[in-house]
Amino acid sequence: MTKGQTFKIGTRGSPLALAQAHETRRRMMLAHDMSEDQFEIVVIKTTGDRVLDRPLGEIGGKGLFTKEIEDALLDGSIDCAVHSMKDMPVDQPGGLIVDCYLPREDPRDAFLSLTAHGLADLAPGTVVGTSSLRRRAQLCKARPDLNVVEFRGNVQTRLKKLDDNVAAATFLAMAGLNRLGLMDTVPAKPIETEDMLPAVAQGAIGIECRDSDDATRTLLAALNHAPTTARLAAERAFLAGLDGSCQTPIAALAELDGDRLTMRGQVIKPDGSESFEATETVAVADGADMGAAMAAEMKSKMSADFFA
């Protein structure tokens, strides 16, 4: 950065997205002894934020939350973009790169209800809302007796929908609730990963920039969290190997123990009627290869219409 230049951080405008952009700014200020007035948070509305009345799969999938922001990166309107990595397609547009990850938050899902303490408390036929095909498929597998409906919106919107009896329960990510400081104020309870395996990269923040922008890449390198990078390398290789998108119910979680990495992966039919699961442990350096191999093994067992 030249003297007097403002560093522009692009983000979606939701409370959670802004909290993540502010966290990125705070870490950059600490790492480089910069002041707040050297930054500008640039809010960019994406198609996924504008269209709330239809499932994501019907209007394009994961790129709906990134395209407009990435366009701003490519035309130089912003210097970097802050993303929830579970929303990121596995491939970036040419000229862009994500090689900086902040420390991962709690990757678990949370069960949210005004009347029930958990899934086991829900009577057959109870309406449960979710916009996630992964959560829908997992729910249909675990509780095929429930009635699952489309349910989108931020935390406040979903709470209002619960209060209006649109559904009796829904799900959110623990990471978002923690980053917004809401765990003490909303009726949410964490779901253990043995019961609901999270989305790939859930709880992780990635920072994207132009791959030719050496100055920005140098600034961001000081923020990168190596353990999160290693975990996401395995998970996103698994996702890539399965051609994963918002239209494919895929879950994975990689965890570190010293120099070893263990990952659980899961692929489920959208109606929950069939699934493939696997667990592997390898050296950390082999995580991405393991993720790709696990995906290939599962793919070889699937019927051609598995995701139909």
Q: Which of 61, 7, 4 has the alpha carbon at shortest distance from 31?
A: 7
Ordered alpha helix ranges (H), 75-168: 133-142, 155-163
Q: What pLDDT is stored for residue 305 in this prediction?
A: 83
Q: What is the dihedral of CA 3, 100, 14, 31, to 10 degrees?
A: -50
- H/E element holding 11? strand 7-11
Catalytic residue among 71, 79, 87, 259: 87
Q: Note whether 171 and 132 are within 8 A (CB).
A: yes
Active-site residue flag, 87: yes
Angle at the Cα of 100 from the Cα atoms of 211 and 183, rounded to 5 degrees: 140
Separation of CA 83 from chain center: 8
Q: What pLDDT is stored for residue 2 in this prediction?
A: 56
pLDDT tens, N- to C-terminus, the chain (308 residues): 556 689 999 999 999 999 999 999 999 999 999 999 999 999 998 766 655 555 555 545 556 678 899 999 999 999 999 999 998 988 889 999 999 999 999 999 999 999 999 999 999 999 999 989 999 999 999 999 999 998 877 777 888 888 999 999 999 999 999 999 998 888 899 999 999 999 999 999 999 999 999 999 999 999 999 999 999 999 999 999 997 655 679 999 999 999 999 999 999 999 999 999 999 999 999 999 999 999 999 999 998 888 77
| Domains of the chain, first to last | 1-102+204-224 (3.40.190.10), 109-191 (3.40.190.10), 225-303 (3.30.160.40)
Angle at the Cα of 105 from the Cα atoms of 225 and 172, rounded to 5 degrees: 145
CA 240 – CA 252 distance, rounded (Å):
12
Q: Note whether 17 and 84 are within 8 A (CB).
A: yes
Per the DSSP assignment, residues forming a β-bridge with 231 are none
Q: What pLDDT is stored for residue 236 in this prediction?
A: 96
Q: What pLDDT is stored for residue 185 in this prediction?
A: 86
Q: Note whether 268 and 141 are within 8 A (CB).
A: yes
pTM summary value: 0.91
Q: What pLDDT is stored for residue 246 in this prediction?
A: 52
Q: What pLDDT is stored for residue 231 in this prediction?
A: 98
Question: CA–CA distance from 51 to each of 12, 47, 57 (Å)?
Answer: 14, 6, 12
